[in-house]
Structure 1
Amino acid sequence: MVAALIAALLGPLAPQAAALAPQAQAHDQDPDRAVIGGYPVRAASHPWVVALSSRDRFGSSRSGQFCGGALVGPRTAVTAAHCLSRNVLGVEPSQVRDLRVITGRGDLSGTSGKEIPVASVRVNPEYDSGTNKGDIAVLRLSSAVPQKSVIRMAEKNDPAYRAGTPADVFGWGDTTGSGSYATTLRAARVKVMEDAVCARAYPGSDKGTFDAATMLCAGVESGGRDACQGDSGGPLIASGKLVGLVSWGVGCGERGRPGVYTRVSAVAHVVRAQGG
């Protein structure tokens, strides 16, 4: 069932289903991660939040957005590795002719901001699609963004990872868990949860397996605030730093089922290896 949980992250494709390859359409109805219980935010206030886009693969609706990401260097963005899988794209990343990172565009129906072509893609060679460990990919941009648009990655043992730390997750995903995708950028306030809480929520078997070394959880005890379909790869920010990338989970905003994120400190070496 772990594989099914990972496949469930492909929900961002639902709004553009008519434009998808058959491989991706099979996952449209699966539950995923989206911004549930969130509120609209201005892209200008959060310039490091980006949308991954391909109109060729996903149509022109919502600027072709299919996943989120974050700028961690003037020419470096990060997203979830599973966003660049054949299951999501229908083809290998190298075959996507118009893969772009959109910056500064809060409203995906508009034309503000910039669409920067992706010059190269490196999926973490240690990424395990069966367990979702190491769920990160690094995108090298064809042109640079200003340094002020970059978010710093939290290092190992940073206080931002402490349980109880307030955090915000950003994205353009499903706002209800039933396919109501946002056109404008949204955020939800959650908090970093104790590893033990996450381990109880995801002990293995059909619920997936939480791995504290490479993952972290965030949410609220009562549920109702979470990432969802369309938010995969998007940033989790705590204490002004990037601590996580939307990765996997069960449902959207369910009580006792916090969102699971890639622990950025565990994969920062992948980014540094690409010069980010």
Structure 2
Amino acid sequence: MRTSPRSLLVVLAVPLVVALAMVLTAPAPASADRVVIGGHPARTVEAPWTAAVASRALFGGKRSGQFCGGAVVAPTTVVTAAHCLSRGVLGMDWREVRDLRVIVGRNDLRKADGREYPLARIWVNPAYESDNRAGDIAVLTLGVALPAAYTIPMAGKGDPAYRPGGRAAIYGWGDTGGDGSYAATLRTAAVRVLADTVCETAYPGNAEGDYDARSMVCAGLPDGGRDACQGDSGGPLVVQGRLVGLVSWGSGCAVAGRPGVYTRISAVAGLVAAHG
């Protein structure tokens, strides 16, 4: 989810943790299975590289403890957002959380299909800047290798997938209405890669955020209506079968003039390779 006060995408902020904890311990809302804002249901078989990052100890078992998303980029490597493992999201140092898991192949978080993987190693970018949210990347290493078919390639620098106007898809189990109605099943929404100037105008360094084109990529629709939201943080932004971004932050959910901001994968691919 996003971490600005009216955040829309993902930067799981303290309000998100509180809201998510309430959702996981309260009766399921009637809208719990609505799709991503402006989106529609998806299946993990269609996006096998989409992962859920979870901790039942912190977030309860109702939705398998899911609190963030991730993407499988190599048989033992999952990437997610650095802010997902922040004290603001977890309420403690991530090293103190004993049951962090990555869940793959589970479309419905209320069920037990797919597989849950404990983590052999965790690396959180020490250069991540929570103030301007640059370098929002963490690498989760699995102790067991997944089949190559479960991985998605990372789009490198200069890849045409980053061109403005390209059709993109976001995936996650987060808030479907911007009101704490977290989805139990995977959903997806179609958006467009936007020009950096669009996000520079929307987030010029004021209270709502500071967009940095060197480390971030912008996506959404000019009139809003489709977006990632709280609980989707760290989830994949995919263009032409390649991973171009991870849900990072934004202002509000699916609000016109406030597009989603994602970690630019080409800017952190070297870090992933070094720590995966």
8 A Cα contact 1:198 1:210, kept in partner:
yes
Q: Check whether the contact 1:10–1:83 (CA below 8 A) recurs between aligned residues.
A: no
Give runs of aligned pairs for residues 52-131 of structure 1, distance below 5 A: 52-131=53-132
Identical pairs, percent: 57
Q: Note if contact 1:249-1:258 (Cα within 8 Å) is conserved in structure 2.
A: yes
2:170–2:190 CA contact under 8 A, matched in 1: yes
Name the SS of the counterpart of 2:171 in structure 1.
strand
2:132–2:210 contact (8 Å) kept in structure 1 = yes
Q: Which amino acid aligns with 1:248?
A: W
Quote the Cα distance in structure 2 between the aligned partners of 1:181 and 1:3.
19
* Structure 1 equivalent of residue 19 of structure 2: 14
Q: Give the corresponding residue for 1:23.
A: none
- Which residue number corresponds to residue 51 of structure 1? 52
Task: Provide TM-score, normalisation by structure 2.
Answer: 0.90
Superposed displacement of residue 215, structure 1? 0.3
Amino acid at match of 2:78: A
Asked if the contact 2:12–2:84 (Cα under 8 Å) also holds between the matched residues in 1, the reply is no
Structure 2 CA distance, aligned partners of 1:63 and 1:211?
34
Instruction: Specify whether residues 226 and 9 from structure 1 end up closer, same or farther in structure 2 by C-alpha distance, changes over 3 A only.
Output: farther
- Mapping 1:187-202, distance limit 5 Å: 187-202=188-203
Secondary structure, aligned partner of 1:228: coil
Note if contact 2:50-2:72 (Cα within 8 Å) is conserved in structure 1.
Answer: yes
* Aligned-pair CA distance for 1:13: 5.2
Matched letter for residue 176 of structure 1:
G
Cα 1:68–1:18 change in 2 (3 A) is: closer
Q: 1:231-246 residue pairs with structure 2 within 5 A?
A: 231-246=232-247
Counterpart residue number, 1:222: 223
Match of 1:232, SS state, is coil
Query: Using a 3 Å threshold, how does the CA distance of structure 1 residues 10 and 238 change in structure 2: closer, same or farther?
Result: farther
Alpha-carbon displacement from aligned partner over 1:154-211 (angstroms, at most 9, x marks no partner): 0001000000000000000111111111100000000100001110011111121100
CA distance in 2: counterparts of 1:36 and 1:103, whole angstroms: 22
For residue 210 of structure 2, give the secondary structure of its aligned residue in structure 1: coil
Question: CA RMSD for the aligned pairs?
Answer: 1.8
Q: Is the 8 A contact 1:218 1:259 kept in 2?
A: yes
User: Are residue 176 (structure 1) and residue 177 (structure 2) matched?
Assistant: yes
- Shift in alpha-carbon separation, 1:169–1:196, aligned structure 2, 3 A: same
CA distance in structure 1 between the aligned counterparts of 2:175 and 2:12, rounded to whole angstroms: 16
Assess, with a 3 A threshold, how the Cα gap between structure 1 residues 10 and 270 changes in structure 2: closer, same or farther.
farther
- How many Å separate the matches in 1 of 2:14 and 2:183? 17
- Counterparts of 2:14 and 2:167 in 1: how far apart (Å)? 24
1:216-250 deviations in Å (ceiling 9; x for gaps):
11001111000001100000000100000000000
Q: Is the 8 A contact 1:3 1:129 kept in 2?
A: no
Deviations 1:14-55 (A, max 9, x none): 2323889xxxxxxxxxxxxx9311100111111000000100
- Asked whether the equivalents of residues 249 and 260 of structure 2 are also in contact (C-alpha less than 8 Å), the reply is yes
Partner amino acid, structure 1, of 2:108: D
**Using a 3 Å threshold, how does the CA distance of structure 1 residues 263 and 175 change in structure 2: closer, same or farther?**
same
Match of 1:26 in 2: none
Distance in structure 1 (CA, Å) of the matches to 2:20 and 2:61: 11
CA distance in 2, matches of 1:196, 1:242: 21
Letter in 2 for 1:237: V
Match of 2:31 in 1: none
Task: Give CA-to-partner distance per residue, 1:57-83, whole Å, 9 cap, x none.
Answer: 111110000000000110000000000
Deviation of 1:88 (Å):
0.9
In 2, are the aligned partners of 1:47 and 1:150 still within 8 Å (CA)? yes
Deviation at 1:142, TM superposition (A): 1.4
> In the alignment, which residue of structure 1 is the partner of 2:134?
133
Which secondary structure does the structure 1 equivalent of 2:204 belong to? coil
Inter-CA distance 47–13: structure 2 relative to 1 (3 Å threshold): farther
